[in-house]
Structure 1
Amino acid sequence: MRMREKRILKPGHPVVIFIASASRSGSTLLDLMLGSHPQGISTGELRRIQGFALEDKQLCGVQDEDYPLTCSCGAPVIRCVFWKKVEEEFGGSLRETRFRTKAGRAWRVWVMALYLALGGSILRRIAHVWPGLMREIGIGGNCLRLHEAISRVSGACFVVDSSKSIYHYMLLHLANPETLRLVLLVRDGRAVAHSMVRGHRAEQWKPGPKPPFLQAAKQWALTTRGILVLSSRTPTSNRVLIRYEDLCRDPARILQEVTNRWGLLPWERVFQETKKERHIIGGSPSIRFEGSVRSIELDESWKEALSPGDLEAFEKIAGKVNRKLGYI
């Protein structure tokens, strides 16, 4: 059996560590932690960069009217010194280049089904006679070229992209599977659904007979099921599953496992102070504007907040998926 050559990490030809997860699962936190590694850089939800450059909430997919469309350094993307350098290195306009699909749900489901059934190599060949699919793969290619530009500007050997969407990951994988490493970040669905509807977030769900918590539980289950199924097309050597709860309880062990798995330099110290200026797009504002992670506290408020009726309803909607992840 022929052994695959080990990839040499160097700026300009980065490994891309993609975090796939449901919302409210800790992707911004993990992005920041991985990006504090001496060889790495955090970028946040890079697929939203065009919307941030245009300051267009609809293009970003942002529902919260108070959500800040700025880089984590505080500057608008088009005036941020870092992103201006990246744009110049990229050789295209961040405001005019597409980095995120505009395809509807039916299209995405159809393409993901073909990807799962046929695999990436066959689907790439089909794309040569299917212009719509070729355009979608082109979006993945745009993002990978942007990752390379970020690597050249920053000197980082790996780029962390917490865009979360497994469909978006698929587009990157179709564009170039060799450069990607996949982190499946999961969290107890009961905690996620509770977080999705806590406080003012409950107002973002559709009014109707089904309460927001049940809508959130269904969305979590659909998203998580899709992530688990589509990730099977990525070799086991290039993917890893991380539970948010394990990350909070023992971050040093989890991060060391990631670096060891993919041939990165070992961590000198987790939660180390970094002199890197962060330039992160999207994600949780309360975390990305903080700058660095000094400690983690596991939020288990859902255990007291959810009623027996809530838990019973969740079990019917999403219990099977939750148990598959090891949550009882």
Structure 2
Amino acid sequence: MQKSVVFIIGIGRSGSTLMDLMLGSHPRAFSLGEISKLPDFVKRGKRLCMLEDSHFWEEQFTETERQDLARGMSGHRLHRHIPLKLERWVRGWLGNDAILNPYSRLFEKIDADVLIDSSKYFSWLNQRLAAREFQQQWLRPFLIHMVRDGRAVVNSYLRIYPDRGIEWLTQHWLNELEQKKQLYDRHPSDRKLTVHYEALASDPEGTLKEVCDAIGLEFTPDMIEYWKHPHHHVAGSRGTNSMIAKYRGQKARQPLETAHGDYYDKIDFEIKLDLRWRGELSAENLAVFERMAGDRNRPFAWPRDGETAPSSGLRA
């Protein structure tokens, strides 16, 4: 099997961490989380994994190797006076560009066939896909576009950033959606898939089977219970990660009560469809969202018009 990197794209609050950790629970896959944050974490001397009992990055990579990973992923010049584009070309010509092909370096340390990157940022994806490791097909890139009912996304952001207001957050959702669509549309059709968060959360087995088939992994049922598996991901949703800490009898690294109350404390060890927006989004805020983004949200509204239960929600 050719080594693959699965890039999960989409606006935040759309289930990217959930998908990342489920796929990373496969015995031949590895969750990187939002590894785009690694350069900043290394620079500031922060621990890399969200989970307190993980020492993977410190044990598998020397300080020099972590610094090199950070430099290669940063998107900044390696040498002050040499433009990165020129240095990338020269290093590629000389066959001395390992530092600029970070996923290949990760595969040297990680015994897996698939790496999962849920960084999501538009600029990050453009930089990564331009690297020689993908351009010369050493590695196979696969895109998963996670989408969710825009009302749920905006409500989730309102919970965290109430001062930004419904209009700003709705416009942000529209902007992010268009940006990710541009990236998704130009990717080959046999190397991409759109997945609804609501489909994944309401039918995790059926949805994951289809995703695994598209990626080239054999589905295993215990992938769904991601909290039971070892993970070493760099960053991701605090709520989704809290299930791992809870299963291990630990406290979440960052408190959730301010934004989520006791929502996650009350959840058993299960995948639960989060539809809190229906009870939390005010009529006034709903009206603003409908005015600004109602038509654009139609393909993502859940359940869909005329449906009493969700369908798979997957499409190439």
| Structure 1 residues 100 and 21, CA gap change in structure 2 (3 angstroms) | farther
In structure 1, the partner of 2:20 is 31
> For the structure 1 residues 143 and 229, does the alpha-carbon distance in structure 2 shift closer, same or farther, using more than 3 Å as the test?
farther
Residue 320 (structure 1) aligned with residue 280 (structure 2): no
Equivalent residues of 1:19, 1:161 under 8 A apart: yes
Identical columns (%)? 28
Shift of 1:317: 2.1
State the shift of 1:168 in Å.
1.5
Find the counterpart in structure 1 of residue 50 from structure 2: 72
Aligned: 1:52 with 2:11? no
Counterpart among 271, 275, 278 of residue 231 in structure 2: 278
The 3 A distance-change label for structure 1 pair 159 and 233 is same
Does the C-alpha gap of structure 1 residues 81 and 305 become closer, same or farther in structure 2, counting only changes over 3 Å?
closer
SS of the residue 1:280 aligns to = coil
In 2, the alpha carbon distance for the partners of 1:240 and 1:31 equals 14
Separation in 2, partners of 1:288, 1:256: 22
State TM-score, norm by structure 2. 0.73
1:73 touches 1:289 (CA, 8 Å); kept in 2? Answer: no
Counterparts of 2:294 and 2:214, CA distance in 1: 31
CA distance in 1, matches of 2:178, 2:283: 24
Aligned to 2:57: 83
Q: Shift in Å at residue 238 of structure 1?
A: 0.1
What is the letter of the counterpart of residue 153 of structure 1?
Answer: K
User: SS in structure 2 opposite 1:164?
Assistant: coil
Q: 2:241, 2:142 → 1: CA distance?
A: 22
Structure 1 280/183 Cα, relative in aligned 2: closer, same or farther at 3 Å? same
Where do residues 160-309 of structure 1 align in structure 2 (5 Å cutoff)? 160-175=116-131, 176-177=134-135, 178=137, 179-198=140-159, 200-203=160-163, 205=164, 212-272=165-225, 276-288=229-241, 290-291=243-244, 294-309=269-284
Cα shift readout 1:214-259 (whole Å, capped 9, x = no counterpart): 2111111100111112211111100000000000110111111011
Q: Is the 8 A contact 2:42 2:66 kept in 1?
A: no
The 2-side partners of 1:35 and 1:143 are apart by 24
- Write the deviation string for residues 13-55 of structure 1: whole angstroms up to 9, x where unpaired: x310010010111111111101001110111101110112233
Residue 276 of structure 1 and its aligned partner are, at CA, apart by 4.7
Contact 2:205/2:221 (<8 A) preserved: no
The structure-2 alpha-carbon separation of the partners of 1:242 and 1:99, relative to structure 1 and needing over 3 Å to count, comes to: same
C-alpha separation in 2, matches of 1:142 and 1:26: 32
CA apart distance, 1:326: 5.3
Deviation at 1:95, TM superposition (A): 7.7
Looking at structure 1, the residues matched to 213 and 161 of structure 2 have their Cα atoms a distance apart, in angstroms, of 38
Contact 2:73-2:102 at 8 Å conserved across structures: no
Deviation at 1:280, TM superposition (A): 1.3
- Distance (whole Å) between structure 2 residues aligned to residue 195 and residue 142 of structure 1: 40
Equivalence for 1:114? none
TM-score when normalising by structure 1: 0.70
**1:186, 1:241 within 8 Å by CA — same for their partners in 2?**
yes
8 A contact 1:54–1:95 mirrored in 2 = no
Q: Is the 8 A contact 1:50 1:95 kept in 2?
A: yes
Using the alignment, how far apart are the partners of 2:88 and 2:169 within structure 1?
Answer: 28
1:22 aligns with 2:11: yes
Tell me by how many angstroms 1:171 deviates: 1.9
In the alignment, the residues of structure 2 paired with residue 90 and residue 134 of structure 1 have an alpha-carbon distance, to the nearest angstrom, of: 24
Q: Distance in 2 between matches of 1:149 and 1:276?
A: 24
How many equivalent pairs are there?
266
Q: Which runs of 5+ in 1 are unaligned?
A: 1-7, 57-67, 104-129, 206-211
SS at match of 1:38: coil
Distance in 2 between residues matched to 1:230 and 1:252, nearest whole Å: 28
Deviation of 1:269 after TM superposition, in Å, equals 3.6
Could you tell me how far 1:286 is from its partner in structure 2? 3.2
Report the secondary structure of 1:19's partner residue: strand
**Which residue of structure 2 aligns with residue 118 of structure 1?**
none
- C-alpha change, 1:90 and 1:181, in structure 2 (3 Å) is farther
User: Partners in 1 of 2:172 and 2:99 — Cα distance?
Assistant: 26
